[in-house]
Structures are given as structure tokens and as C-alpha cells.
Amino acid sequence: MSKKLEGVPAENICTPDPAVAGPALESLRYTGHKDSLSELYANLLASAMDINTARTAHPGFVEIIRNMASDEARLLNLILDKKFFPIIDIKKVLADNGGEQIIHELVSTIGHDAGCEHKDLTAAYLNNLERLGLITIPRDSFLTNPTAYDRILNDPVVKTELERINSEGENIKGDFNKYYVKPTVFGKQFGAACVVSRDKT
């Protein structure tokens, strides 16, 4: 904590809101072995102890961190940095009647880019971050940059899966829906208070 507050003038250091500090310190007892989560708690405490940032330290943030996995903290850090991140759903389209079936949801490179330990759980992580109100995934919008989805579509696993679907029959086609993920306003506040490192060294 001293490292995170060393750049704050002494007169700006205040007693943190007990509604934030109490639960955060209690939770740190159980997450000290998980660096990405303990870092969130430490940043939140430091934000709560600085007059200039105390208002951003929402009491609800402690409960949000409690509901996050370490990999989700890594994902959120990247999403906050990039602002927008492309994702797709892989689907099966029936040519005769136009029917569709989603085969794989929320496929992206974000788990790899964030250095997640369990990359296969990235879609579930994104669902949870959306549930917590930290990110949003507009289902009716996509990124207009013509190359935005190239990395996903050129991934060998994605290409193989689309080829597999195409091989199922003449009337079956592998296709995809394009979306993106971005932080919410609440997620940006959470990021400012908990994710952005306050270390000065």
C-alpha cells in the first residue's frame, strides 16, 4: 500500500470508507495467493485512501472482485486498454430454409492476448464480466474495420471448425456472426479504481 500511495501528498491521504476497506481487507486474506485479484483489492484500497479518487471507490466493487476469476481480471485489463475487441459466433446455416444454429459462442483471440491460464473458458469469462456489468456485447453491432476479424477467422482452430461444418452436407454452410466487446461506463469506473495500477515504482 505504501508503494501505491507514495506519490500522493500526505494531506491527500484519508481514512477509507469502512464499507470499502473492511470487506476488501477481509477478502485479501483469501486471495493473497492470486496476484491478479489481490492487485485489484490493493488498487481499490489505495483509491479509497486518496481524496482525489475516493469517490470512484464504489462499495460494490469488493463484491464484484469476489465474483471474478484471476483470468477475468486479465481479460478486463486488456478490454479496458483496447476499448473494443472483436468476437464472433460460429454458426451452422441451412441453405434450404435459412435456419441457423449457433455452434460456438463468443469466439475471440482475447484469452490468448490477455495471457489467460484457462483460455478454453474465455467465453464463460466474458459472460460473467457482462453479468457483473463491467462489459457489454452489443448483439446488433459489429466493427466496420475490414480487417478487424481477420485474426479470428484465420485462426487454424476456427478455420478447421468452419470446414468441418461445411463438410456436413450440401445444404449446410459454416458461417459466423460478428460482434465486439467493450467496457461499460461502470466498467470504466471499476477500471479506474481497481485495475489501473497505482504503483509509482
Angle (nearest 5°) at CA 74 between 115 and 157: 40
pLDDT given at position 201: 37
Fold assignment, 82-184: Translation Initiation Factor IF3 (3.30.110)
pLDDT per residue as tens, the chain (201 positions):
667 777 777 888 888 888 888 888 887 777 666 778 888 988 899 899 989 889 889 989 999 999 999 999 999 999 999 889 999 999 999 988 779 999 999 999 999 999 999 999 999 999 999 999 999 999 999 999 999 999 999 999 999 999 999 999 889 999 999 999 999 999 999 998 998 765 643
Cα dihedral: 29, 32, 34, 35 (round 10):
140
Residues 90 and 92: their CA atoms lie apart, in Å, by 7
Measured from the Cβ of residue 146, the count of other Cβ atoms closer than 10 Å reads 7
Question: If DSSP codes are grouped into helix, strand and coil, which group holds residue 108?
Answer: coil
pLDDT given at position 2: 67
Short-list 184, 183, 197, CA closest to 75? 183
**Side chain identity at 175, as an amino acid letter?**
D
Q: Indicate the domain borders of the chain.
A: 2-76+186-195, 82-184
pLDDT given at position 174: 94
Burial of 161 (0-12, 13-18, 19+ CB in 10 A): middle
